[in-house]
Chains A and B, each alone.
Chain A
Amino acid sequence: MVRVEFLGPIQKDALELEITNLSELATILQETPEMAEWLSNSAVAVNDTLVSSLNYPLKDGDKVSMLPPVCGG
């Protein structure tokens, strides 16, 4: 099971999914209406490291985080 967390202003509870790469997660989230406004502007981290490839493999126990646009300070 992979845990998917939505950070900051994304008002969505975490998901527990049986997926093996980010491409599968993309397909699921693209079909989730409440994610429509967030997919194009959010970064993705796996186990707290930002990633840049949809082929990134996921294994049982991994944590994926969705990070929408930031503004500290």
Chain B
Amino acid sequence: MLKIYDGGLNVATILKEWYEEEATSNYGAFIPFIGTIRDEDGIEGLSFDIYEPILEKWFKEWQEKAKAKNAIIKMAHSRGDVLLHQSSYIAAVFSPKRRVALEFIDEFVENFKASAPIWKYDLKNGKRIYALDRSTAIKGSGLLAKEYS
């Protein structure tokens, strides 16, 4: 399950929903990761662009990986502006045993950071500034640059 929301995420509502959806699915472990916007470098918040067609394909691949481990994965992410102390990202793994879920959430969140087609901007002095220095080039980037031709 992948859901995109406009603005900050309602953490309590989303976690409650996910918990209730799987309450009787016989998973022994439910491990959520909740990302929130920290007050740092004078930002007023963060803002996000998302390219959904590729995000959905990427997520589907991870759903298959989870399935192979008898686990499931759920994810929610914000689009647009998210203010300080609000959440922009929640991911969770449900699995029969805790070890699988603990390892899977780590692998999933790291890969998400490096591959998911989402772009982050700092909101500063009313401006939206692309966070290039905190961003990662997707694997295989540079195909159209001169050194490849």
Contacts and interface: CB of A to CB of B under 8 A. Distances in A.
Interface of A: 7-9, 22-23, 25-27, 29-30, 39-45, 48-54, 65-73
Contact of A71 (B113, B140, B148): B113
B140 A69 contact: no
Interface of B: 35, 48-49, 51, 53-54, 57, 77, 88-89, 109, 112-121, 130-132, 134-149
A62 to B, nearest CB: 14
Contact of A9 (B88, B109, B121, B149): B121
Contacts of B120: 71-73
A62 B119 CA distance: 24
B59 to A, nearest CB: 11
B77 A72 contact: yes
Contact of B119 (A8, A50, A51, A53): A8
A50 B138 CA distance: 10
Interface centre among B53, B77, B109 (most CB of A within 10 A): B53
